[in-house]
Structure 1
Amino acid sequence: MPVYTVHAPVGNNADLAATDKFTFVRDGFHFWAAIASVIWLAWHRLWLALIGWVLLMAAIDYGLAKLGIGRGTILAVDVVLALLLGFEAASLKRWTLSRGRWRQLDVVVADDEESAERRFFDRWTAAHRGLVNDQWSVDRGGPPPTRNNPGQPFSKPPPLPQGGIIGLFPEPGGSR
């Protein structure tokens, strides 16, 4: 089963209102990172890793060519480095997130990303129940709390209309 790490931005304090910004990074081999490394790095916005990858590949290819190494050996070295990038792609993504002031919240084991999200949020909401000020769960039907501080009276409500009835039809059977 794949292992996912869950990351959240530091500035949002990882509360229930910021759950749409959580990121799940799958650990393991990334096939497209090995096959199309430059495109994969650019697609995931790993700019420093992309620059480092291009410079590393250029330096190794140039150095091996200057040493008189054959093209087949240079291709084999490039394939080994591509496989290495495929295995380390998730680590590069986590490194980029940590540089961008994200923090790792949890590690989840699941079959796919949707199952990982479900498992994480089930555990996370159970752990944070009662600790988070969830404004949606407050009963808004009651009157606001009052205070009895001398010198700080509440404002008085507006007076009722003359009939004491509020609405479109103030008198039963009256004109409309």
Structure 2
Amino acid sequence: MAIHVVMEPPAKAGQNASEAAVFIRDGFHFFGFIAPLLWLLWHRLWLEAAMTLAATLALAAASEWAGLTFAAPLLPLLISLYVGLEGGALRIAALRRAGWHQWGVVEADSVEDAEMRYLFAAEADDEPAPAPVAISPATPRPQPAGGALGLLHYPGRN
């Protein structure tokens, strides 16, 4: 089973947050590994895509300047691995910057199952809680005489 992080949009008048919730799978993102720049652009992570492009160009220029032409294709592999491993966290961070908040996590096999579990839990949260019942004690509790465990003496007690 996969873990899905549920992100809810900021509260707006007349809009239900559960209808616009986004589910982000926590795990390895294969397409983020294969084509990190395209994956970031697809998920509208503009800042992260620009930084990925800049880091890729900087690594290529540094390897060319150092005379490591054989390592030039291998260095961007590190960036691809980072996007593949941390793609979900990058999406969550971007949504938080936009004002979204994390509702919680849902464990499910697919996104559809995660949506069902989330909607069921959100519906249960909307139900009013039962009113607390105040119970007064019928008899006062007996106060112990002496110190605690017989080792200590407290002032004001016999």
Scaled by the length of structure 1, the TM-score of the pair is: 0.68
The answer for unaligned runs of 5 or more in structure 2 is: 130-158
Q: Secondary structure at the match of 1:56?
A: helix
2:114 aligns with: 116
- Pick aligned residue for 1:83 from 72, 78, 81: 81
How far did 1:16 drift?
7.5
Larger gyration radius, structure 1 or structure 2: 1
The aligned length equals 129
The question of whether the paired residues in 1 share the 8 Å contact of 2:28 and 2:84 is answered with yes
Cα distance in 1 for residues equivalent to 2:116 and 2:73: 43
Moved over 6 A (4+): none
Distance 2:36 2:50 in 1: 11
> Does the CA-based 8 Å contact 2:34-2:80 persist in structure 1?
yes
- CA drift of 1:80 comes to 2.6
1:40 aligns with 2:39: yes
Give the fraction of aligned pairs with identical amino acids, expressed as a percent: 31
Letter in 1 for 2:122: W
1:70 is displaced (CA, Å) by 2.5
Structure 1, unmatched stretches of 5+, are 132-176
SS in 2 for 1:11: coil
User: Where do 1:1-176 residues align within 5 Å?
Assistant: 1-12=1-12, 17-71=16-70, 73-130=71-128
8 Å Cα contact 2:24/2:88 also seen in 1: yes
CA RMSD across the alignment: 1.8
